[in-house]
Amino acid sequence: MGLVVNESAENYLETILILSKRLPVVRSVDIANELNYKKSSVSIAMKNLREKKHITVTDAGFIYLTDEGRAIAEMIYERHEFLTSYLMSIGVPEQIACRIEHVISKESFEAMKQHIKL
């Protein structure tokens, strides 16, 4: 998958995935509340994700991941869970572990996965 997604978009896609596991439907207001962002910022981001075909939005405002959006979100979520757990297990504070997790490359993550058994 030759997917180039910026960190902000990754964060939104991951948040939509997480919320979709917890809520019957996901709306912009839910994303804004979860991330503590302004609704206007979320609206702009949703427009961009829709243009990239990563999400669909119904007339009622319900947000769904497309297959491509879900693939990206699941990859980000797996990386997040794996790296945050590992870094915290070696004593890195959670906040710093989350920041490190966001900047590590896909290649570095795959290399680490091959050598770390959690």
pTM over 0.95: no
The domains of the chain, with CATH numbers, are 7-66 (1.10.10.10), 72-115 (no CATH)
Beta-carbon count within 10 A of 76 CB: 23
Q: Is 105:113 a contact under the CB 8 Å cutoff?
A: no
Please name which of 42, 41, 46, 86 lies closest in space to residue 65, comparing C-alpha atoms: 46
Burial status of residue 90 (CB atoms within 10 A of its CB: 0-12, 13-18, 19 or more):
exposed
User: pLDDT tens, position by position, for the chain (118 residues)?
Assistant: 344 457 788 889 999 999 999 999 999 999 999 999 999 999 999 999 999 999 999 999 999 999 999 999 998 898 888 888 989 999 999 889 888 877 888 788 888 888 876 5
* Residue 34 identity (one-letter amino acid): E
